[in-house]
Structure 1
Amino acid sequence: MNLPNFLIIGIQKAGTTSIYTYLKRHPQIYMSPVKETDFMSIDWDKEDSGMDKSYNNSKINSFEKYCHLFADVTDEIAIGEASPNYLFHYKSSAEMIERYVPHAKLIAVLRHPVERAYSDYLMNIRDGVHQGKHTKFSDQIKFRADKSFVIRKGFYYEPLKHYFDKFPRDQIKICLYDDLCKDPVKFMQDIYRFIGVDDSFIPDTSKKAQVGKVPKSNLINNLLNTKNPIRKLITSGLVYIFPVEVRQKIRSSLIQINLKDKTDEALSPEDHQELINLYREDILKVQELIQRDLSSWLN
């Protein structure tokens, strides 16, 4: 039975999709064909007790399904998967990792928490996730910072400390997103060394796996990305004209036309400072824990 001997455990919006792609290109590494399996996020046996798991084939919600992801491993030295929510769901994830792959090397990539939160927020806007009350980022900071997943995922100290308490320190590698941006080849070769593969391999890092974009019109974006009467009406008319593949391509094209570069939506200085104040104590504790200078995060 083949199981991962390394995991990318976090965090979202810190380049994990690019890192996953660069790892896949290494000839000595096998990566799960599903990028975010999220299998270790919760105890599926408890969560799905009494349920027929065959009803949801899209989720990796059983150990059998998880093992199947690695059935095609041949002679690769390193076997891995990348599920950035493992850091956020640290209590359940650490327990599951300890149960199934206790000796797997763990890699966490940390990004400036303010930048990470705003990037996450813009992604949710693009995907039509934020609906209803307190959709503005400033409102989330003021009224629901303690409940917003977008903001809470930037508190790294407690999750990291939990992993450090559960696993040997030399089994965990903490990386910084800033280093990935400055020199992606050096960054990846450092990870190659950590997981025990040829670190002279140079991955093609010329293309980013994801380029952040936001909607030009939130109204059009919501019509295209969420279930609503107007979209249902249009779809019901097109169903007799175009096959499903063509309809999906038309919708995807319209979504892309309505997107623009996210740099056009800068975070306001006031919101930036509010978040710096919110994260300050945690940043200082993380700095001490991982022994890296994070003073630039406080500017």
Structure 2
Amino acid sequence: MVLPNFLIIGAAKAGTTSIAQYMKQHPQIYISPVKEPYFFSFEGQTPNFQGPGDSDTFSYAVTRLADYEHLFDKVNGETAIGEASVSYLHIPETAERISQHLSQVKILVILRDPAERAYAHFMHQIRDGHESTIDFSEALQVEDQRIQDNWMFPWHYKRNGFYFEQLSTYLSIFDARQIKVWLYEDLQKDAAGLLKEIFYFLGVDDTFTPDLSVRYNISGIPKNRTIFNLIDKPNLAKKVLRPLLPQKMRYKLRKSALEKPLMSKDIRNHLVNIYRDDILKLQDLINRDLSNWLS
């Protein structure tokens, strides 16, 4: 039986998909073929989430240990074995479940300015055709009701950004030496350097250089829904063209079909005020200057 010795636990919309894809290129690293199995968040559960698209999002969740073990059946000599599930950072009791199964696991965390993260997740939900409003302020206003109505965590735009609280839970359960935290800014400024640090942390060859030319799972609002769906959703045209277009070209086409309107200053100020205390405590916890998150 093979189980992970590292986990990428979040945050959502902080570059975890890109990082996982880059890590997959390393010959000493094996990452689950299911990018987000959610196992430690929902072990033994059958949640009945009610939000638009929630059933699709949860359809690839793995909730039985035997099925989770099967995700790692094809490990073949790799020494760093893991998976990435962004629900692990913020869903209560996840850290405790992880410790019960994987007490010595290494935990990778990438954090993003919580206001920007919330907005990126909002645009992600629009991109995927789930969000019914294009007004971010309105989505924030109805968030508490959506949570009460059992909408899945991708709808928890604001709630998911209290990182100090979330990390404190992990640090109360795991040795601090098992946890490594980076910022989304690190990925943007020096992706190669960030990957080198990850490789070193995992004890694999840190001189390996992955191809970093593609950014994955980019958020945005489709410029034209019909054209975007042709590029993004399963259809005959996509099936025919897929073998003819290199992966990099497909991702560039997808990116070009999206636009990213700026978040309004008023909404950002509102969110910064909500997160201020958490950010101030977080920067002391992780020993990083987060003053730009407060501006």
TM-score by length of 1: 0.80
- Displacement, 1:58? 4.0
Q: Which has the larger radius of gyration?
A: 1
**Corresponding residue for residue 4 of structure 1:** 4
In the aligned structure 2, how far is the partner of 1:257 from the partner of 1:193?
A: 33
**Corresponding residue for residue 241 of structure 1:** none
Residue 7 of structure 1 aligns to a residue whose secondary structure is strand
One-letter identity of the residue aligned with 2:191: P
- Displacement, 1:149? 0.2
* Cα gap change, 1:137 to 1:6, in 2 (>3 Å): same
* Cα gap change, 1:64 to 1:182, in 2 (>3 Å): same
From 281, 291, 294, give the equivalent of 1:285. 281
TM-score by length of 2: 0.81
Q: How many residues align?
A: 264
Does the aligned pair in 2 maintain the 1:13–1:120 contact within 8 Å?
yes
Does the aligned pair in 1 maintain the 2:220–2:259 contact within 8 Å?
yes
One-letter identity of the residue aligned with 2:36: E
* Cα gap change, 1:278 to 1:222, in 2 (>3 Å): farther
Computed over aligned residues only, the root mean square deviation of the Cα atoms, in angstroms, reads 2.8
Does the aligned pair in 2 maintain the 1:145–1:151 contact within 8 Å?
no
**Corresponding residue for residue 76 of structure 1:** 78
Does the aligned pair in 2 maintain the 1:8–1:82 contact within 8 Å?
yes
**Corresponding residue for residue 64 of structure 1:** 66
In the aligned structure 1, how far is the partner of 2:59 from the partner of 2:258?
A: 35
Does the aligned pair in 2 maintain the 1:217–1:258 contact within 8 Å?
no
Is 1:23 matched up with 2:23? Answer: yes
Does the aligned pair in 2 maintain the 1:14–1:111 contact within 8 Å?
yes
**Corresponding residue for residue 109 of structure 2:** 108
- Displacement, 1:248? 7.1
**Corresponding residue for residue 216 of structure 2:** 209
How do residues 1-299 of structure 1 correspond to structure 2 at under 5 angstroms?
A: 1-44=1-44, 47=46, 58-89=60-91, 91-131=92-132, 136-142=135-141, 144=143, 147=147, 149-216=156-223, 246=236, 260-263=257-260, 265-299=261-295
Does the aligned pair in 2 maintain the 1:141–1:274 contact within 8 Å?
no
Percent identity, aligned pairs only, is 42
- Displacement, 1:157? 1.2
Residue 208 of structure 1 aligns to a residue whose secondary structure is coil
In the aligned structure 1, how far is the partner of 2:80 from the partner of 2:94?
A: 21
In the aligned structure 1, how far is the partner of 2:102 from the partner of 2:274?
A: 35
Residue 108 of structure 2 aligns to a residue whose secondary structure is strand
Stretch deviating more after TM superposition (201-210 or 138-147): 138-147
* Cα gap change, 1:108 to 1:258, in 2 (>3 Å): closer
In the aligned structure 2, how far is the partner of 1:57 from the partner of 1:109?
A: 25
Does the aligned pair in 1 maintain the 2:227–2:257 contact within 8 Å?
no
- Displacement, 1:170? 0.3
Residue 107 of structure 1 aligns to a residue whose secondary structure is strand
Segments of structure 2 that go 5 or more residues without pairing to the other structure are 48-57, 148-154, 243-249
Does the aligned pair in 2 maintain the 1:39–1:60 contact within 8 Å?
yes
One-letter identity of the residue aligned with 1:15: G
In the aligned structure 1, how far is the partner of 2:36 from the partner of 2:62?
A: 9
* Cα gap change, 1:37 to 1:143, in 2 (>3 Å): closer
One-letter identity of the residue aligned with 2:93: S
- Displacement, 1:285? 1.1
Residue 9 of structure 2 aligns to a residue whose secondary structure is strand
Residue 93 of structure 2 aligns to a residue whose secondary structure is helix
- Displacement, 1:64? 0.5
- Displacement, 1:211? 3.1
In the aligned structure 2, how far is the partner of 1:39 from the partner of 1:290?
A: 27
Segments of structure 1 that go 5 or more residues without pairing to the other structure are 49-55, 225-243
In the aligned structure 2, how far is the partner of 1:120 from the partner of 1:144?
A: 13
In the aligned structure 2, how far is the partner of 1:26 from the partner of 1:257?
A: 25
